[in-house]
Amino acid sequence: MFAKSLNNAAGQIGACLQQLMAPLGDLPVVQAMRYATSGGKRLRGFLVLETARLHGVDVARALYPAAAVEMLHAYSLVHDDLPCMDDDDLRRGQPTVHVKWDQATAVLAGDALQTLAFETLTRVETSNDPVVRLELVASLARASGAQGMVLGQALDIAAETAPEPLTLTEITHLQDGKTGALIRWSAEAGAVMARADVTPMRDYATALGLAFQIADDILDVEGDAAKAGKRLGKDADAGKATFVSLLGLDGAKERAAELVDQAQAALEPFGAKADTLRQAARFVIARDK
């Protein structure tokens, strides 16, 4: 059930992304934008669609914030892969954008994806209510900027040259921004669109986001690079603190499982209607890429 829902969501979001970028022409920067948003699990967009469904929001409207967060996420990956950041040459089994084109095109493609994401949230197709559209824009800005994803990335870069490895509390704070903030926004979007209480979705997504990152750290140690579509073991090679280095492999797996239980417990108010989101929580620690 979950795999089918995830694949269906990915297809719908892909079609929406094509529609949004169709008027942009075919310059190299636009080609790079399309390339950067192709493939991937589209888990964040799926969370938007599924939480919208849970709150009675029309999927035709929810597709726009789903596409927006996928563009925002893609921009972050394009920039993270640059030589001045994580310096990666492989993403989703394909050359990274700066390798396939060049660094300037990668920077501009990321910039354009970020701005198009916010433009998309302002469209009347997202919601007839301007207050809802404004809240989606403002909350995504907080989640992606210096209070969220960018903060997490800055802390991660600083950790590379810090005299001491990060503590468990520090790395949890770092990952809550770098990975967790966008996942949390995605899970809250449906409630925001329905003008409903976001607390259950926030609790669900906070646990889910941390479980997701711990699973990433586990994959970095024991994953298959061919399946992951990217280089593995970089954190260990760099001597960076991770959940695995701090908790041990078994301890990290136990902590991830505890977080999945917490995420599922947060969905109790929705009963069986939230079963697909429960399956999503299990998926994040069972995935192989």
User: What would the pLDDT profile of 44-56 be if each residue is shown by its tens digit?
Assistant: 999 999 999 999 9
Confidence of residue 10 (pLDDT cuts 50, 70, 90): very high
Is-contact 216 85, C-beta < 8 A?
no
Q: What's residue 235's pLDDT?
A: 62
Confidence of residue 3 (pLDDT cuts 50, 70, 90): confident
Arithmetic mean of pLDDT, 145-155: 96
Arithmetic mean of pLDDT, 176-186: 96
Arithmetic mean of pLDDT, 140-153: 97
- Write down the mean pLDDT value for the chain: 93
Q: Whole-model pTM?
A: 0.93
Arithmetic mean of pLDDT, 142-148: 97
Strands 90-91 and 94-95: antiparallel
pLDDT at 219 over 60: yes
Render pLDDT for 87-128 as a digit per residue (tens, 0 to 9): 999 998 899 999 999 999 999 999 999 999 999 999 999 999
Residue with the larger pLDDT of the pair 163 and 29: 29
pLDDT at 239 over 80: no
Q: What's residue 92's pLDDT?
A: 86
Arithmetic mean of pLDDT, 21-46: 97
Confidence of residue 230 (pLDDT cuts 50, 70, 90): low
C-alpha 146/C-alpha 116 separation (Å) is 19
Burial pattern 40-51, b for ≥16 Cβ within 10 A else e, equals bbbbbbbbbbbb
Q: What's residue 234's pLDDT?
A: 64
Specify the range with the lowest mean pLDDT, choosing from 194-208, 209-223, 229-243.
229-243
pLDDT at 188 over 70: yes
Q: What is the CA radius of gyration of the chain?
A: 18
At residue 84, φ and ψ (nearest 5 deg) are -80, -5
Q: What's residue 1's pLDDT?
A: 73
Confidence of residue 231 (pLDDT cuts 50, 70, 90): low
Arithmetic mean of pLDDT, 186-199: 98
Render pLDDT for 107-117 as a digit per residue (tens, 0 to 9): 999 999 999 99
Arithmetic mean of pLDDT, 210-219: 93
Confidence of residue 31 (pLDDT cuts 50, 70, 90): very high
pLDDT at 227 over 80: no
Nearest Cα to 14, choosing from 38, 50, 36?
A: 38
Taking every pair of C-alpha atoms in the chain, what is the biggest distance, in angstroms?
52
Q: What's residue 287's pLDDT?
A: 80
